[in-house]
Amino acid sequence: MPSMGADMDSGTLVEWKVKPGDRVKKGQVIAAVETSKAVLDVEVFQDGVVEKFYVEEGTEVDVGAPLALIGDGSGAQAPEIATETETSPEPETTTEPETIPEPETTPEPESTPEPVATPVARTPEHSDRIPASPAARRAAREAGLTLADLQGSGPDGAIVLRDLPDPQPSRPDSRGGAAFDRGQMRATIAAAMSRAKREIPHYYLATTVDLHAAEQWLTHYNEQQPPNSRLLMSALFMKATALALARYSDLNGHYGKDGFKPAPQINLGMAVHLRGGGLVAPAILETDKLPLPALMHQLRDLVGRARSGGLRASEMAGGTATVTALGDRGVDTVYGVIYPPQVAMIGIGRARRRPLAVNDGIAVRLAVDLSLAADHRVCDGHLGALFLNEIERLLQQPEAL
């Protein structure tokens, strides 16, 4: 079970997308996992053959526990892992996983009587309750179904999601957005942001950037493109930010128990508002290496999948820095809160026309306020200022992006 959040202890395996015996390739989606914000696609990290499932659909599994064995197809590598996969009644309140990336941590041996890699389902306090997975119990409750009327097909007859006649939860709703528990999402965000403000010594910087050159170049470029291939200013902001992070690597990486570790690539996250409230921050992998048209395509695709479902675990857990943009909400300046374990949040306000000093005169030009929230444990305001200045320099030369 991959970690997809700063406070994630477990996740619910909603669906297997492969079966034992299937040959899979690195990056292929093999399962869907439910978090408090969405149902995320889980990719496999090696080529091979699915030899064995360790977890049934509908089971809540601890982070780090094995979901399946990927081998060469011979079955010779299959270890016998002691599991407690008997699914059980869900407590009245269940802590769902968080989707903000977390530093790697290793549980202390004395506090973990079972092996870290053991899938553990929640055990009931009262054994006379009908056995069911947490996801199935929740789905049945939401659908008004009685568990006693259902036939279980899980371990020891436990009821799992596939035993319910209604569609599985967290699938697209009638509005086209991904269904989620808004209260649970707000609680998850509150926990992560409280941790960020409590543990991370933030410092803040802001600057106003003249967008005249970027606007002129963008207008000329789009005049030569069909409507579906035109660029938005947001693509230039993302590319300039990614290139600046490549130069100032102390703002690109994670701060964990061993201190700061720069990331080997630029995976720029983007805060996306969800219909009905809440937000997620999926990342565009290797943002600095993408040409502007490809980056624009990925921006549209990522926002669409964030709001309708289909985000991948690597996109949720792989961010190395994040951009938050509220210009479309009429906000001139936004100061973000850093997503742990990242160390930088870049804010983009509203691009609007305003009077600026140009040479020895005043001109009305398109401009935007850029801000930086950075971790003072990793760098100081001097480096943060150089970083914002680098973004500004790059936006003055849009043809080079």
170 lies in the same domain as 204: no
Quickly state the pLDDT bin for 146 (edges 50, 70, 90). confident
Residue 159 domain-assigned? yes
Least confident of 135-139, 196-200, 258-262, 310-314: 135-139
**Interstrand relation of 39-43 and 29-34 (parallel, antiparallel or unpaired):** antiparallel
Quickly state the pLDDT bin for 255 (edges 50, 70, 90). very high
Higher pLDDT, 398 or 314: 398
In the predicted model, is pLDDT for residue 139 greater than 90? no
Any idea what the CATH number is for the domain that residue 105 is in? Answer: 2.40.50.100
Quickly tell me which residue has 């149902």 as its tokens.
Answer: 39
Q: Are 210 and 367 in contact (CB under 8 A)?
A: yes
256 lies in the same domain as 333: yes
19 lies in the same domain as 60: yes
Residue 256 domain-assigned? yes
Instruction: Report pLDDT for 142.
Output: 63
Instruction: Report pLDDT for 178.
Output: 44
Q: Are 89 and 137 in contact (CB under 8 A)?
A: yes
CA distance 194 to 290: 34
Provide the 10 A C-beta neighbour count for residue 62.
19
Both tokens of residue 41?
């696609």
The stretch 157-178 carries a mean pLDDT of 55
pLDDT tens digits, one per residue of 208-218: 999 999 999 99
Angle (CA) 343 346 352, round 5°: 170
Positive or negative, the CA dihedral 358, 363, 368, 369 is positive
In the predicted model, is pLDDT for residue 275 greater than 80? no
Instruction: Report pLDDT for 166.
Output: 47
CA distance 113 to 110: 7
pLDDT tens digits, one per residue of 305-319: 888 778 888 888 889
Higher pLDDT, 134 or 209: 209
CA distance 181 to 87: 22
The stretch 35-43 carries a mean pLDDT of 76
Classify 286 in phi/psi space as left (phi over 0), alpha (psi -120 to 50) or beta. Answer: left
Instruction: Report pLDDT for 344.
Output: 98
260 lies in the same domain as 225: yes
Q: Is the pTM of this model over 0.75?
A: no
pLDDT tens digits, one per residue of 349-376: 999 999 999 999 999 999 999 999 999 9
Both tokens of residue 226?
């069909």
Residue 193 domain-assigned? no
* Burial annotation 117-145 (CB, 10 A radius, 16+ → b, else e): ebbbbbebeeeeebbbbbbbbbbbeeeeb
Provide the residue range defining the domain that includes 117.
10-174
Residue 281 domain-assigned? yes
110 lies in the same domain as 238: no
378 lies in the same domain as 244: yes
Residue 103 domain-assigned? yes
Both tokens of residue 127?
């054994």
141 vs 92, 127, 136, 166, 232, CA distance in Å?
11, 19, 8, 11, 44
Instruction: Report pLDDT for 75.
Output: 65
159 lies in the same domain as 263: no
Cis peptide before 341 (omega within 30 of 0): yes
* Burial annotation 185-212 (CB, 10 A radius, 16+ → b, else e): beebbebbbebbeeebebeeeeeebbbb
CA distance 370 to 78: 52
Q: How far is CA 345 from the centre of its chain?
A: 15
Instruction: Report pLDDT for 124.
Output: 36
pLDDT tens digits, one per residue of 113-129: 433 333 433 333 333 46
The stretch 135-143 carries a mean pLDDT of 70
Instruction: Report pLDDT for 299.
Output: 95
The contacts of residue 76 (CB under 8 Å, 6+ apart) are: none
Q: Are 372 and 250 in contact (CB under 8 A)?
A: no
Quickly state the pLDDT bin for 148 (edges 50, 70, 90). confident
Quickly state the pLDDT bin for 329 (edges 50, 70, 90). confident
CA distance 13 to 31: 7
Angle (CA) 388 390 391, round 5°: 65
183 vs 37, 93, 149, 203, 292, CA distance in Å?
10, 12, 29, 30, 37
163 lies in the same domain as 301: no
For the chain, give the number of residues: 401
Instruction: Report pLDDT for 204.
Output: 98
pLDDT tens digits, one per residue of 10-24: 778 888 999 999 999
Number of structural domains the chain divides into: 2
The stretch 267-288 carries a mean pLDDT of 89
164 lies in the same domain as 205: no
Q: Are 71 and 49 in contact (CB under 8 A)?
A: yes
Residue 181 domain-assigned? no
pLDDT tens digits, one per residue of 73-89: 776 555 555 444 344 44
Instruction: Report pLDDT for 109.
Output: 42
241 lies in the same domain as 94: no
Any idea what the CATH number is for the domain that residue 377 is in? Answer: 3.30.559.10
Residue 250 domain-assigned? yes
363 lies in the same domain as 259: yes
Quickly state the pLDDT bin for 379 (edges 50, 70, 90). very high
